[in-house]
Chain A
Amino acid sequence: SQTIHQWPATLVQPVGSPLSLECTVEGTSNPNLYWYRQAAGRGLQLLFYSVGIGQISSEVPQNLSASRPQDRQFILSSKKLLLSDSGFYLCAWSLGLAVDTQYFGPGTRLTVL
């Protein structure tokens, strides 16, 4: 069966510090991968998605970037965090079908102080 991991679970970072969040998927090959951000009590904002290694599509211009160095690894990064980067970051995967279901990881709760 497929599983998706995210770490860390929680993170507190100062403004201006770098960020690296990691997501890995097990039990499937060539998944589509997604990064979402959710502000407290709000909806899901798609940040990046990837249909293959090295292929990244950005949905919202910001100071975040994403990379997919391996088939089942998706990394979200920032060189300098802003206060507005605080939120709940969710990674998800799907099979890449025409009508696709997404499966979410447990999330990383980021607080920027």
Chain B
Amino acid sequence: GQQVMQIPQYQHVQEGEDFTTYCNSSTTLSNIQWYKQRPGGHPVFLIQLVKSGEVKKQKRLTFQFGEAKKNSSLHITATQTTDVGTYFCANAAGNKLTFGGGTRVLVKP
């Protein structure tokens, strides 16, 4: 898969506020997947995006694939303590997933 970079590495969020994490590539991606890993747990698949400009929502989570298919974002509204964890984007190609470094989200109550 293509190398993907995630920013920010850490995100401290006040409970109730919104935040966005970004995934960027220097090359065009055929797809982007997002995973969430709770502290002490294992990564769990959230969503997959394949179309240019695609937007998908899961309750308070909004996932977007850029028009040029070189970037993706995850926006969380009204952050809750259950949103704590590390969010990874990944690109699937050639039987493998190439993961970004992750955004570690900490929520302040």
Does A90 sit at the interface, judged by CB under 8 A?
Answer: yes
Report the minimum CB–CB distance from B99 to chain A (whole Å): 5
CA–CA, A96 and B33, complex, Å: 15
Question: Is there a chain A Cβ closer than 8 Å to B85's Cβ?
Answer: no
Count how many pairs of residues, one from A and one from B, have CB atoms less than 8 Å apart in the complex: 44
Whether the Cβ atoms of B100 and A43 lie closer than 8 Å is yes
CB-based nearest A residue for B33: A101
Interface size class of B (residues with CB under 8 A): 20 to 34
- A24 at interface, CB cutoff 8 A: no
Q: How far is the CB of B11 from chain A (nearest CB, A)?
A: 14
Mask, B26-57, CB within 8 Å of A = 1, is 00001101000000011111001010000000
- CB contacts under 8 Å to A, within B68-109, are 88, 92, 95-97, 99-102, 104
A interface residues with partner B (beta carbon < 8 Å)? 32, 34, 41-44, 46, 49, 51, 90, 96, 99-107
- Chain B positions within 8 Å of A, measured between CB atoms, are 30-31, 33, 41-45, 48, 50, 88, 92, 95-97, 99-102, 104
